[in-house]
Amino acid sequence: EVQLVESGGALVQPGGSLRLSCAASGFTLSAYSMIWVRQAPGKGLEWVSYISTTGETIYYADSVKGRFTVSRDNARNSLFLQMNSLRDEDTAVYYCARPYCSTTSCYSDYWGHGTLVTVSS
């Protein structure tokens, strides 16, 4: 059974940093690209980042570019999101998800349960 379990969410002050983790099981992580998606309280879904199977190709939403860094450790079946210079508007539940990507599109068939990041003084 495919499982994705996020962790690392916490209350952090504006300007602070946080590192999220996503533990993958039930499939071979190295065979799949991965993404992060977030959802602010009471709001819609926002795509955050994409990382290819080897980490060679990475994309970010404009809202986090330069502040967030996605990485992965296939040997440890883990995905990470390093978040720096956090802002109030980064407050959200962060989901990791496994996308299926063709040459023209990606969709996500498996999602974690999410981890809550609260940025507040």
Partner 1 sequence: SYVLTQPPSVSVAPGKTARITCGGNNIGSKSVHWYQQKPGQAPVLVIYYDTDRPSGIPERFSGSNSGNTATLTINRVEAGDEAEYYCQVWDSNRGVFGGGTKLTVL
Shortest separation between residue 70's beta carbon and partner 1, angstroms:
13
Nearer to partner 1, 56 or 62 (CB): 62
Shortest separation between residue 56's beta carbon and partner 1, angstroms:
14
Residues 28, 92, 46: CA angle, nearest 5 degrees: 70
> Residue 1, interface with partner 1 (CB under 8 A)?
no
Number of CB atoms found within 10 A of residue 116's CB: 14
Q: Which residues bind partner 1 (CB under 8 A)?
A: 35, 37, 44-47, 50, 59-62, 95, 100-102, 104-109, 111-114
